[in-house]
Structure 1
Amino acid sequence: MKPDTITLHVPFRVVKRGGRKEVQLPDCAPIQRRTDNTLVKALARAFRWKRMLESGDFNTIAELADREGIAPSYMTRVLRITLLAPDIVEAILDGKQGPEVTLGRLLEPFPAEWEVQRLDTIGGRGY
């Protein structure tokens, strides 16, 4: 007697995200999220740099960037992510941000108003 055979079809696609490949499941599939360490590191650096500037340890972004060995323009873009709404920051730290939220996207200009950020997130822009 032969055992019954079960065939299982799982719809998915492989997409590139941040230079690596990921499996993307359909919208109806339950998703296990992982924290994006690149985003978490960028958030930590941004808030650390902000604290250093606010404390008076450094007078300008150029001084701090020179000490950190990075370009002032890059530091300015990273510092901008300290303007994200607290719930969006929390979602990133919990790994609950959308797959379209990448460091590259966050380094692009985004609205400073938290409510607009949330609307953009819901609308699919993905902050």
Structure 2
Amino acid sequence: MKSTTTPDTITLRVPFRVVKRGGRKEVQLPDGAPVQRKTDNTLIKALARAFRWKRMLESGEFTTIVELAEREGIAPSYMTRVLRLTLLAPDIVEAILEGRQGPAMTLGRLLEGFQVEWEAQQPSFHKVE
């Protein structure tokens, strides 16, 4: 005799929001939910470029930002804003590299400007997870 019972069905509801972050859509879970770390490759690439450019300027390979920007094929004003990323506090840089930065930490937000004193940066980017 063949059984005709159907398996039990379980309905699971998980509250979440879809938010735009760095030009991409991302699922945001409620507070208290386990968070999976996700690195922001755009932000990491910008950090790498900033520190590379800084090294090139400090070594004397290029004498001005204008000269380096021309070689890189970008606007000097953009290069200046990206170079400011080298002024981020080390713990903030580490959090970005490990994917622990808070949702307010996007490249667009950082390029708008931030305090250069490390202590003053902490409240702005307080949500380092």
Pair in the same fold by TM > 0.5: yes
**Please, which of 63, 88, 100 is the counterpart of residue 67 of structure 2?**
63
Displacement after TM superposition at 1:4 (Å): 3.4
**Please, which of 53, 58, 66 is the counterpart of residue 49 of structure 1?**
53
Which residue is 1:105 aligned to? 109
Relative to the length of structure 1, the TM-score reads: 0.91
Structure 1 unmatched ranges of 5 or more: none
Which residue is 1:36 aligned to? 40
Displacement after TM superposition at 1:52 (Å): 0.5
Displacement after TM superposition at 1:119 (Å): 2.2
Which residue is 1:7 aligned to? 11
Relative to the length of structure 2, the TM-score reads: 0.90
The runs of at least 4 consecutive aligned structure 1 residues that moved more than 4 Å come to: none
**Please, which of 96, 106, 118 is the counterpart of residue 92 of structure 1?**
96
Percent identity, aligned pairs only? 78
Q: Secondary structure at the match of 2:35?
A: coil
Aligned letter for 1:11? Answer: P
Q: Secondary structure at the match of 2:105?
A: coil
CA contact (8 A) 2:50 2:82 kept: yes
Structure 2 unmatched ranges of 5 or more: none
Q: Secondary structure at the match of 1:79?
A: helix
The RMSD of aligned alpha carbons is: 1.4
